[in-house]
């Protein structure tokens, strides 16, 4: 009798469901997912993978070549969609992908006039940076999608020539590892490409500009309210460092190769603040 | 083991602690702590202490994770007198800390402390990853202070073709990206995960689920997991210098690196060097480490390539068998 692979997987997944003392594990209900701490997404992912793999393997037994290829294509499409959902959200922190973002930037695209000219220009620069972030984000998403398509095609090609074996947990694990290998290989090819490196750099550079403009804006507001700003704290920190370096007694580790006399017993010591840093002519 | 047992193991593993060897803090300065490990074996002949210089980007307890996965324990068992620098967790007050501070001040001060304690003129240094770069720089600036240098998974040539991190950062305006603040450890974690996203964010957890109900295995996994995501923020100025000078400008290879106004000339390094390289290292590619050979002036240069990845070099079973013995044997011969 053929083992019920789906049942096996559910039993396996149920191991990670929350257990009241003495209660039976359950992978079926939503309660089962909530108590699994950070494993819930992986259980869900593994279950979906198992279900699709089961369907593929089941449909492939004694199937014609064309049916086998069709089944492999469906399975690889599923893998592509699933992995696409898990790809890094580069721009999530900045709201990139928001369809209103483009309209929001357009309304700032006006000549900067009058007493608020500086503010208008800063807002325009922020909007422009936002647009560049959005553009870079889209390019990255396309590259991710292309990589996943390549991965799925490679994976499907491998499936199409393989005779599905009797379903087992080991077979599923092997299939899953094969998919991960295909995905990593395809991603690596993309990630090394000029297009990906360029899009990533554009995103980073645009987000740096956007953040810098935002910081300037916030500092202006802080000054209006007579609140300390980061620039002022940084200036004080730099001044402290400079004073620390000029403190009498501050000395660099001896340059001589002759070792100083050792104490008889090593004792834990805490350096007095400001006695460690040596004066330097050239600051890096 | 029952399902409930597995769940209990998983829950218990949340509290596992990393670090196993006894040590004492022998010096502190700011956030830096210099540790000395208690010996567990008869001291090796010579008695020259070994200072481990770890990277800034993760915590050094990876070197001493647990009893059966501890490079430090292996070194202690070989009779070595081991010191380790813990850089601590930089905060906003450290944003202007530079590479010169780390190398020519903090590291230099630790070396002086140890030499004073032991009444020695020079010690041995083991530099790990970014700490290996620091060790190379320090050794070039203070050659009389270092007797033997061991570098481990240390990048030297940052422009090798397979170096994905280097390709990614080459066109980024790093000074603008860092600004005047520190760099978040979380941001760096995302970057490292992006190098192999499918394996590092999905497959390894599925393998954990599918790998059997062995509580020791789960605890091992959780210790490594804790280490991976225990990422200190990076002092902004030092980070900016490291990325621009090395990842972007590849100054070690071009012999243009200066620290504290002094040139770091690797060709002037004449001391014995042992370079440990991970053949499957995806963070520091083997060719990026192996480049050291053609850059240094030492005639006593040994490269040891092991079929291990970046983390495997510290904690794999093979590393436990081979790495401490290789280091101790090489040092004993010098």
User: Which carries the bigger pLDDT value, residue A141 or residue A264?
Assistant: A141
pLDDT class for A250, splitting at 50, 70, 90? Answer: low
Question: What pLDDT is attached to residue A85?
Answer: 58
Question: Mean pLDDT across the stretch A230-254?
Answer: 80
Question: What pLDDT is attached to residue A81?
Answer: 73
The answer, yes or no, to whether residue A108 has pLDDT greater than 70, is no
Question: What pLDDT is attached to residue A281?
Answer: 41
Question: What pLDDT is attached to residue A7?
Answer: 53
The answer, yes or no, to whether residue A170 has pLDDT greater than 90, is no
Q: Is A280 exposed, middle or buried (0-12, 13-18, 19+ CB in 10 A)?
A: middle
Alpha helix stretches (DSSP H) within B119-259: 130-141, 164-169, 174-178, 185-193, 197-198, 204-210, 215-229, 236-242, 251-254
The two three-digit tokens of residue A245, written as one number: 């370096």
Greatest alpha-carbon span in chain A: 87
Per the CB < 8 A criterion, the answer to whether B47 and B71 are in contact is no
Per the CB < 8 A criterion, the answer to whether B185 and B231 are in contact is yes
Of A88, A169, A262, the CB nearest to B119: A262
User: Which carries the bigger pLDDT value, residue A277 or residue A65?
Assistant: A65
Question: Mean pLDDT across the stretch A100-117?
Answer: 67
Tens of pLDDT, residue by residue over A110-126, are 777 888 888 888 888 99
Instruction: Enter the DSSP assignment of A262.
Output: P
Question: What pLDDT is attached to residue B56?
Answer: 96
Question: What pLDDT is attached to residue B12?
Answer: 77
* 3-class SS of residue A97: coil
Whether B100 and A284 lie within 8 Å, measured CB to CB: yes
CB atoms within 10 A of CB A104: 13
Q: Is B249 exposed, middle or buried (0-12, 13-18, 19+ CB in 10 A)?
A: middle
Tens of pLDDT, residue by residue over A54-67, are 777 777 666 776 77
For tokens 């980061």, the residue is: A230
Interface of A with B in 19-58 (CB under 8 A): 19, 25, 39, 42-43, 45-46
How much is the mean pLDDT over chain A? 71
Of A173, A187, A284, the CB nearest to B99: A284
Cβ neighbours of A271 in B, within 8 Å? 27-30, 109
Strands B273-278 and B146-152: parallel
Whether A188 and B164 lie within 8 Å, measured CB to CB: yes
Per the CB < 8 A criterion, the answer to whether A165 and A171 are in contact is yes
Question: Mean pLDDT across the stretch A161-165?
Answer: 57
**For the whole model, what pTM was predicted?**
0.80
Give the helix/strand (H/E) hosting A242: helix A230-246
Which residue stretches of chain B have pLDDT < 50?
1
Question: What pLDDT is attached to residue A50?
Answer: 75
Question: Mean pLDDT across the stretch A235-257?
Answer: 72
Question: What pLDDT is attached to residue A44?
Answer: 73
Question: What pLDDT is attached to residue A164?
Answer: 55
Q: Would you call B129 a catalytic residue per the annotation?
A: yes
Question: What pLDDT is attached to residue A205?
Answer: 96
Whether A209 and B99 lie within 8 Å, measured CB to CB: no
Best of A253, A270, A274, A282 to mutate (most B CBs within 10 Å, chain B): A253
pLDDT class for A51, splitting at 50, 70, 90? Answer: confident
Whether B6 and A177 lie within 8 Å, measured CB to CB: no
In terms of Cα–Cα distance, which of A13, A19, A22, A21 is closest to A50? A13
The answer, yes or no, to whether residue A263 has pLDDT greater than 60, is no
**Phi (first) and psi of residue B168, to 5 degrees:** -65, -40
Q: Report d(CA A270, CA B31) in Å as an integer.
A: 11
Q: Report d(CA A115, CA A152) in Å as an integer.
A: 57
Cβ neighbours of A19 in B, within 8 Å? 3-4, 7
The answer, yes or no, to whether residue A269 has pLDDT greater than 80, is no
Give the helix/strand (H/E) hosting B307: none
Q: Chain A: nearest CA to B4, how far in angstroms?
A: 7
CA angle A200, B162, A159 (to 5 degrees): 85
The answer, yes or no, to whether residue A131 has pLDDT greater than 80, is yes
Question: What pLDDT is attached to residue A35?
Answer: 43
Q: Chain A: nearest CA to B40, how far in angstroms?
A: 18
Does residue A87 belong to the interface with chain B, where contact is any CB pair within 8 Å? yes
């Amino acid at each position: 009798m053929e083992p019920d692979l789906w049942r096996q997987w559910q039993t396996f997944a149920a191991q990670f469901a929350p257990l009241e003392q003495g209660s039976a594990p359950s992978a079926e209900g939503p309660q089962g997912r909530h108590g699994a701490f950070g494993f819930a997404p992986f259980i869900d992912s593994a279950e979906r993978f198992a279900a699709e793999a089961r369907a593929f393997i089941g449909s492939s037994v004694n199937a014609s070549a064309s049916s086998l290829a069709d089944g492999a294509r469906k399975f690889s499409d599923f893998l592509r969609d699933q992995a696409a959902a898990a790809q890094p959200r580069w721009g999530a922190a900045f709201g990139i992908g928001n369809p209103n973002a483009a309209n929001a930037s357009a309304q700032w695209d006006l000549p900067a006039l009058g007493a608020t000219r500086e503010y208008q220009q800063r807002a325009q620069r922020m909007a422009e940076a936002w647009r560049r972030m959005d553009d870079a984000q889209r390019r990255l998403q396309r590259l991710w999608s292309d990589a996943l398509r390549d991965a799925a095609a490679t994976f499907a090609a491998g499936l199409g020539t393989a005779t599905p074996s009797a379903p087992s947990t080991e077979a599923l694990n092997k299939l899953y590892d094969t998919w991960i290998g295909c995905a990593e290989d395809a991603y690596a090819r993309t990630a090394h490409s000029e297009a990906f490196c360029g899009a990533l750099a554009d995103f980073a550079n645009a987000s740096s500009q956007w953040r810098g403009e935002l910081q300037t804006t916030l500092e202006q507001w802080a000054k209006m309210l007579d609140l300390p700003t980061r620039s002022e704290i940084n200036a004080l920190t730099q001044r402290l460092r400079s004073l620390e370096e000029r403190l009498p007694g501050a000395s660099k580790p001896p340059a001589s190769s002759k070792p100083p006399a050792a104490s008889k017993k090593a004792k834990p010591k805490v350096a007095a603040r400001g006695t460690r840093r040596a004066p330097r002519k050239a600051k890096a | 083991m029952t399902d409930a047992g597995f769940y209990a193991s998983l829950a218990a593993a949340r509290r596992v602690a990393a670090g196993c060897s006894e040590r004492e803090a022998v010096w502190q300065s700011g956030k830096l702590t210099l540790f000395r490990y208690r010996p567990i074996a008869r001291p090796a002949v010579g008695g020259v202490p070994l200072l481990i210089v770890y990277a800034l980007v993760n915590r050094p307890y990876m070197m001493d994770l647990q009893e059966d996965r501890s490079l430090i324990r292996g070194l202690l068992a070989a009779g070595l007198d081991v010191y380790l620098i813990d850089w601590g967790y930089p905060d906003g007050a450290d944003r202007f800390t530079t590479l010169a501070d780390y190398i020519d001040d903090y590291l230099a001060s630790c070396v002086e402390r140890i030499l004073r304690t032991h009444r020695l003129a020079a010690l041995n240094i083991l530099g790990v990853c970014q700490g290996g770069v620091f060790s190379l720089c320090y050794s070039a600036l203070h050659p009389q202070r270092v007797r033997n240098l061991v570098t481990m998974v240390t990048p030297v040539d940052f422009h090798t073709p397979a170096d994905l991190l280097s390709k990614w950062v080459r066109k980024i305006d790093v000074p603008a990206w860092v600004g005047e603040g520190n760099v978040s450890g979380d941001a760096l974690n995302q970057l490292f995960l992006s190098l192999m996203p499918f394996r590092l964010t999905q497959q390894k957890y599925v393998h954990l689920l599918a790998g059997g109900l062995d509580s020791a295995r789960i605890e091992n996994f959780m210790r490594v997991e804790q280490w991976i995501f225990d990422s200190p923020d990076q002092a902004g100025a030092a980070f900016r210098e490291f990325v621009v000078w090395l990842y972007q400008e590849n100054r070690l290879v071009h012999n243009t690196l200066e620290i504290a106004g002094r040139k770091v000339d690797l060709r002037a390094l004449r001391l014995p060097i042992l370079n440990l390289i991970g053949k499957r290292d995806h963070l520091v590619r083997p060719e990026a480490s192996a480049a050291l050979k053609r850059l240094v002036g030492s005639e006593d240069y040994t490269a040891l390539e092991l079929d291990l990845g970046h983390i495997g070099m510290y904690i794999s079973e093979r590393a436990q068998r081979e790495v401490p013995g290789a280091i101790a044997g090489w040092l004993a011969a010098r």
